[in-house]
A and B are shown apart, each in its own frame.
Chain A
Amino acid sequence: MVIEQTYFIRGGDFSHAGDASSKVKKLLKQLGVDARKIKNIVIALYEAEVNIVAHAWEGMIRISIEADRISCTLEDKGPGIEDIGQAMVEGYSTASKEVREMGFGAGMGLSNIKRNTDVLEITSEVGVGTKVYMVNYF
């Protein structure tokens, strides 16, 4: 059995940032996934969701749950990331003052995602958008 879900994300909409990750968390709980694994998955997903809200214009999250794994694909239309290696460095952030006032901009998001996933692939085109693909095994 494969469970698939899609969520739309609006850039700049901090009042709803995290809604998708919250729904995924509740779904994984229902499915009886180990709590520690759920925490890893939703921390990574939430960071990636907030990155769309904070840095991009709009995006889509697609998740697919199989017997042994969850795969999440987050695709956005936005400014893209010029140097992904640099963006991954802890503390590196281009977050605006508005984003910082919302509690983000520590420059920890991407490294948090890395630490909490088994597979992480980021591709990006400047001026077009960013795609984040991540997999966690149960």
Chain B
Amino acid sequence: MKISDILQLTEARVVCGSFSSQTEVERAFSSDLMSDVLTLDSENILLITGLANPQSIRTAEMADIHFILLVRNKKATEEMIRLAEENHITLMETPFSLFRTSGILYQAGLMPVY
């Protein structure tokens, strides 16, 4: 699914990062527990999380995840933005909840990891 479609469907905004209009992710995973995220084997995934602290960025960095969607109007902190920029991670924020965000994207065809 195209990042631009994800932004539109979840009424999200980009906090930092750049990507082309054709950039896509293959699958998504929703979790607030970072070790759960670190079990994933897939490439090219979107992390959907309510965890608004630097550890969500560090986790993405280690797992080679390049797209993070923060839910429920959680605001990325300055430190998160700094780390995301340093590691070429695109950070987005949606007002929707984790459940609603996941439901919308799943229904629109974004594949789950499991």
Contact = CB atoms under 8 A, between A and B. Distances in A.
A43 to B, nearest CB: 5
Contacts of A106: 33-36
Contacts of A112: 35, 38-39
A103 interface: yes
Contacts of B54: 14-15, 17-18
Given A15-B79, A43-B38, A112-B38, A104 B61 contact: no
Interface of A is mostly: helix
22 contacts: A15-B53, A17-B55, A18-B54, A18-B58, A18-B61, A21-B62, A22-B62, A39-B62, A39-B63, A39-B64, A43-B62, A43-B63, A47-B35, A103-B49, A103-B51, A103-B53, A103-B55, A104-B34, A106-B34, A108-B33, A108-B35, A108-B38
Interface in A1-35: 14-15, 17-18, 21-22, 25, 35
B33 A103 contact: yes
Contacts of B59: 18, 46, 103
Contact of B36 (A25, A35, A108): A108
Contacts of A129: none
Contacts of A46: 38, 58-59, 62
Interface residues of A, number: 24
Contacts of B51: 103
Contacts of B5: none
A42 B51 CA distance: 21
B39 A14 contact: no
Most chain A beta-carbon neighbours within 10 Å: one of B33, B58, B61, B79 = B58
